[in-house]
Amino acid sequence: MNDSSTRAIGITLGTGIGSAFSVGGRVVVTGQGVPKGGEIWDLRFRGGIVADFISTASLQRSYEQRTGQWAEVRAIAGLADTDRNARETFEQFGSDLGQVLLEFSSAFRPECVVLGGGIARSASHFLPAAERELDGLSIRMCVSELGDHAPLIGAGIC
């Protein structure tokens, strides 16, 4: 995946949403389709910003609006196989993520999007909805194999 034509986006899903754009295995912060500094969290989206819809707080808020109960993301994920509200919370999150990627990555034309961060541990609950939003595009989505070690490795490279 490190040839000079490979275009990828890394997304960290957690307290907020982090992003990195890569061409040929090198992070880029400018260029065709790359938002200022390679950041998408603060881009305008649905009357707010991306982080209002893609974050731990957005997942918790969505679940609380459906149930009247606040819960940790891990607890919501634990219920998603048996509880309709938890399942729909993750499906909405995935749909929102897919729409964000569709809107803010189409000019960049990535071949893949790699997801990391704490929320990515629950990808099985939201990834299908995100992929439906990107249907017809040649964008492969996957979860990072590095898990919680990715930030440490990234910091070590800098």
Q: Which residues contact 78 (CB under 8 A, 6 or more apart)?
A: none
Q: Which residues contact 151 (CB under 8 A, 6 or more apart)?
A: 12
- The number of C-alpha atoms within 13 Å of 87 and in the hemisphere containing its C-beta is 5
Q: Are 13 and 54 in contact (CB under 8 A)?
A: yes
Q: What is the pTM of this model?
A: 0.89
> Given this model, what pLDDT does residue 149 score?
54
> Given this model, what pLDDT does residue 25 score?
87
Give the H/E segment covering residue 156.
Answer: helix 150-157
Beta strand 44-45 with 48-49 is antiparallel
Region of 151 (left: φ > 0; alpha: ψ -120 to 50; beta: rest) is alpha
3-state helix, strand, coil in the chain (%, to 5): 45, 20, 35
Domains annotated on the chain, with CATH: 7-157 (3.30.420.40)
And the tokens for 154? 């990234």
> Given this model, what pLDDT does residue 154 score?
46
Between CA 11 and CA 87 the distance in angstroms is 22
Percent of the chain residues topping a pLDDT of 70:
89
Amino acid at 129: A
Q: What is the pLDDT of residues 48-76, one digit of tens each?
A: 999 999 999 999 999 999 999 999 999 99
Between CA 94 and CA 89 the distance in angstroms is 9
Q: What is the pLDDT of residues 102-142, one digit of tens each?
A: 998 889 999 999 999 999 999 999 999 999 999 988 899 99
CB neighbours of residue 133 within 10 Å: 17
